[in-house]
Amino acid sequence: MTTTASPSASATRAAQILSRPVSLNGLTVPNRIVMAPMTRQFSPGGVPGEDVASYYARRAAAGVGLIVTEGTYVGHESAGQSDRVPRFHGEEQLAGWAKVADAVHAAGGRIVPQLWHIGTVRNAGDPPFADAPAVGPSGLRPDGTEGGKAMTQADLDDVIAAFAEAAAAAERIGFDGVELHGAHGYLIDQFLWEGTNRRTDAYGGDPVARTRFAVELVAAVRASVSPTFPVLFRYSQWKQDAYKARLAETPAELDALLTPLVEAGVDAFHASTRRYWLPEFDDSDLNLAGWTKKLTGKPSITVGSVGLDGDFIKAFQGQGAETKTIDDLLDRLERDEFDLVAVGRALLQDPQWAAKVLDGRLGELGAYDPASLRSLA
């Protein structure tokens, strides 16, 4: 039987559960709210400016426990496809990012950059380096079409070095950790998924062999930073062109994928799903983040439409009978099924979202409205 809590009870419970601190290796995050990475293309020339620093600092000041930046290209010419997406290499670009980190810290926040290489998603002639070819494990795009070149050993080594150099730069300029983008059909994920990895060498074949590139990359990143500097790894089953794609059909297959990454040095996993409340495998209510923590023992971040559902808002405010979304989220957090909750579009729309939740001002939450996202400030 579903029960509906009063608005004050819902507010108190949400604030109490979400306000608990959590540790990610050497970093203490003051609460359970994470800002999910969201590409905005507001960095001309790949340089994050004062507006980008202000954008993140506003959300830090409003109580977001951990900010994961929008994806930022590592120092490999094939990494990206836009001259307005920030880059995490180059003197001017890193100077801009240092100011972002300083602004977030001045506002009391914690921040990690998401390091990114898009692989064969890139089209020929795309900026910021028009002559750079698209590269991937087998020259296949996530939709199965041909696109780009299969990476040589030299290519693999260059990309791994670019991630390691970016991670070292992140620590040097004052960030609190790094997140490696291994999800959504981009380069790292292209190696993990059999749909795009058709290699017959040591980097392809069975599921464990397909982790080799990611494992070597994680190990290089881990070696480039201090032992207590957190290394997060974002992954997903789904791809942008294949929502039903799966890396693992069973918990055992997921364990085989994640264990080598843990051994290589991952401190926490960001398990990306489109709807966080859906169970990942049959015969269990655990979502992907829940299974990730159960199998690895590492902290996990759940994500997927948090704060967008009208029923979610009504449940927060104690209205109506359909309270599964918020009650389920809080129940799972309370029993530590996963450790943190990433909020994307709701935080994009309302920079004060975290403060309203943590302060019990749930009556001020509004339903998600895509039309309101004009300035993305």
203 noted as active-site residue: no
One-letter amino acid for residue 1 of the chain:
M
Integer angstrom CA distances of residue 321 from 4, 285, 336, 362: 6, 21, 25, 17
| Residue 128 amino acid letter | P
The residue annotated as part of the active site, out of 186, 203, 235, 368, is 186
Distance CA 154, CA 66 (A): 35
The CA radius of gyration of the chain, in Å to the nearest whole number, is: 20
Distance, in Å, from the CA atom of 88 to the CA atom of 100, rounded to the nearest integer, reads 12
Q: How far is it, in rounded angstroms, from Cα 16 to Cα 342?
A: 17
| Sequence-separated (6 or more) residues with CB below 8 Å from residue 364 | 352, 356
Determine what percent of the chain falls in helix, strand and coil, rounding each to the nearest 5.
40, 15, 45
Q: How many helices (H) and strands (E) does the chain have?
A: 13, 12
Residue in the block written with tokens 């307005």 = 84
Dihedral over Cα of 356, 273, 255, 291: its sign: positive
**Greatest CA separation for the chain:** 61
Catalytic positions, written as ranges: 186
